[in-house]
Amino acid sequence: MSETLFREGMPLLGDPFPEMEVQTTHGMLKLPQDMAGKWFVLFSHPGDFTPVCTTEFFAFTKNADKFKEIGCELIGHSVDQVFSHIKWVEWINENLKVQVPFPVIADGSGTVAARLGMIHPGKGSNTVRAVFIVDPNGTLRLMIYYPQEIGRSVDEVLRAVKALQVCDKNKVSTPENWPNNAFLGDNVILPPPKDERSAMERKKQMGPACYDWWFCHKKL
Of residues 53, 72, 167, 210, which has the active-site annotation? 53
Q: Which residues pair with 58 in a beta bridge?
A: none
Q: What is the pLDDT of residue 127?
A: 74
Q: Which string of b and e fits 122-159 if b means at least 16 CB within 10 Å?
A: eeeebbbbbbbbbbbebebbbebebebeebbebeebbb
pLDDT above 70: residue 86: yes
171-220 fold: Antioxidant, Horf6; Chain A, domain 2 (3.30.1020)
The predicted model gives 95-116 an average pLDDT of 94
The predicted structure's pLDDT at residue 57: 97
User: What integer pLDDT is reported at residue 207 of this predicted model?
Assistant: 81
Whole-number Å distance between alpha carbons of 135 and 165: 9
| pLDDT computed for residue 124 by the predictor | 59
- The yes/no answer on whether domain 3-152 falls in CATH 3.40.30.10 is yes
Active site residue 216: no
- Could you tell me where the beta strands, DSSP code E, fall in 126-183? 129-134, 140-146
Q: Where are the domains of the chain?
A: 3-152, 171-220
Q: What is the mean pLDDT of residues 99-106?
A: 98
Are 1 and 119 within 8 A, CB to CB?
A: yes
Place 122 in a pLDDT band, splitting at 50, 70 and 90: low
Q: Is the pLDDT higher at 74 or at 115?
A: 74
Is the per-residue pLDDT at 61 higher than 80?
Answer: yes
Give the pTM: 0.91
Q: Could you report the per-residue pLDDT of 160-206, keeping only the tens digit for each?
A: 999 999 999 999 999 999 999 999 999 999 999 999 999 988 888 77
